[in-house]
Amino acid sequence: MGFEKIVLAKVAKVLKQDRQAYFFNGTLFVRASKPEACQVFSMLSKYYYDMVEVSLMGDEFAYDFVA
């Protein structure tokens, strides 16, 4: 399974639903409340330590994976 599919599956487990997240140009976008976005960030940080940056873009949270 590719990186994006793995991440999307993990996000879907946190949010308890799919179709709330998608990738565009390497950035993960998630439509979620602030508490849910914090849960997603915590989960991603657990797997990709010091590689995830999050920002609010309109009504979605954007997660960038940096090296």
Closest CA to 32 of 52, 54, 51, 47: 54
Q: Are strands 27-30 and 60-65 parallel, antiparallel or unpaired?
A: antiparallel
Write out the DSSP string of 22-66: EEETTEEEE---HHHHHHHHHHHHHHSTT-EEEEEETTEEEEEE-
Is the whole-model pTM more than 0.85?
yes
List the domain boundaries for the chain: 3-65
Please provide the CATH number assigned to the domain covering 3-65.
3.40.109.30
Q: Residue with structure tokens 């994006």?
A: 4
Tell me which residue of 29, 24, 22 sits closest to 55, measured CA to CA. 29
Q: What is the mean pLDDT of residues 1-27?
A: 93
Question: pLDDT per residue over 21-55, tens digit each?
Answer: 999 999 999 999 999 999 999 999 999 998 999 99
